[in-house]
Structure 1
């Protein structure tokens, strides 16, 4: 299957992408991984992306599209892939369509993870990270530490990242609504969108997604 995963920040796209890719035996292709791999390997596209990033500028669509194209042409993606973070806007969606059409391929589904905005803010703004080890992550509501502000694992101080503040989260949501959400209507016109609620436990959402991808549009 060839799938695009969409949803607002905090919808759990990364977590669900990993589970779904494993269940469907297809590679999980995320924009973040593409950038890190190309930059670390010093590819031409990676060097271009780094030059924009170092200058504090947005990486142009054509660079992101080029990275995605290279990754989708690798042997493990012959039988399908799950795209996470790409396409990020309608221009990228159109480029992806053209790219697939040139290879006589097409998308099978666009999985839209739906989460109420207030829940997104609650999920992200409630995160607390250990200063000693960023792998130790807590949540003031869902996985609170035994002692407020103290990491259960090592006793380090827990803090809220600047990116996780409510003000920043709401700005990120505005960007999502303006730039990325329009691709849902773009793909709806092609009959590709399947929308599920991303509320509940991780395994419940995964099961719901698998049912939807098998054709149960009521999932």
Structure 2
């Protein structure tokens, strides 16, 4: 299966992508991983991306598209892939369509994880991270530490990241609405969008997603 995963920040895309890719036996291709891999390996595209990032500028579409194209051409992606964070706008979606068409392929589905805006803010603004180890993550509502602002695991200080404040989250949501959300309409026009609620337990959301994808591909075959 060839799937694009979309949804606002805080929808749990990374978590769901990992579960779904494992369940479907396809690689999870995330733009974050692509950038890190290309930069650490010193590829031409990685050097270009780093130059823009170091200058505090947005990486141009053609660089992101180039990285995604190279990754999708790897042998492990021959039987399908799950794209997370790409395409990020309509021009990237058009480039992806052209890429696939040139190989005689199409997308199977675009999975849209739906979360109310206030829930997104609550999820992200409530996160607290350990200063000693950033993998120790708590949440003031959903998984609070036993002692306020103290990590249960190592006793380190817990803090709120600068980009996790309510004001920053709302700005990120604005960017999502103006830049990324239009791709949902773009793909809806192709009959590819499958929307599910991303509320509830992680396993429940995965189950919901698998069921929706199964129905959607079955419907496409019929």
Cα RMSD after superposing both structures: 0.8
Question: Which residues of structure 2 form unaligned runs of 5+?
Answer: 218-222
Question: Which residues of structure 1 form unaligned runs of 5+?
Answer: none
**Superposition map of 1:10-25 within 5 A:** 10-25=10-25
Aligned to 2:220: none
**Superposition map of 1:35-46 within 5 A:** 35-46=35-46
Aligned to 1:155: 155
How far the C-alpha of 1:216 sits from its partner, in A, is 5.7
TM-score of the superposition, structure 2-length normalised? Answer: 0.97
User: What is the distance in 2 between the residues matched to 1:157 and 1:28?
Assistant: 33
Aligned to 2:171: 171
**Superposition map of 1:62-211 within 5 A:** 62-211=62-211
User: What is the distance in 1 between the residues matched to 2:22 and 2:212?
Assistant: 16
1:190-219 superposed Cα distances (whole Å, 9 cap, x missing partner): 0000000000000000000000000169xx
1:132-153 superposed Cα distances (whole Å, 9 cap, x missing partner): 1111100000000000111111
Q: Is the 8 A contact 2:109 2:216 kept in 1?
A: no
Q: Indicate the SS of the match to 2:144.
A: coil
How far the C-alpha of 1:81 sits from its partner, in A, is 0.1
User: What is the distance in 1 between the residues matched to 2:67 and 2:170?
Assistant: 29
Correspondence 1:2 to 2:2: yes
User: What is the distance in 2 between the residues matched to 1:215 and 1:192?
Assistant: 12
User: What is the distance in 1 between the residues matched to 2:216 and 2:91?
Assistant: 29
Deviant stretches of 4+, over 6 Å: none
User: What is the distance in 2 between the residues matched to 1:112 and 1:38?
Assistant: 27
1:98-147 superposed Cα distances (whole Å, 9 cap, x missing partner): 00000100000000000000000000000000111111100000000000
Q: Indicate the SS of the match to 1:135.
A: coil
Aligned to 1:56: 56
Q: Indicate the SS of the match to 1:194.
A: strand
Q: Indicate the SS of the match to 1:26.
A: coil
With 151-160 and 186-195 compared, the bigger mean Cα shift is at 151-160
TM-score of the superposition, structure 1-length normalised? Answer: 0.98
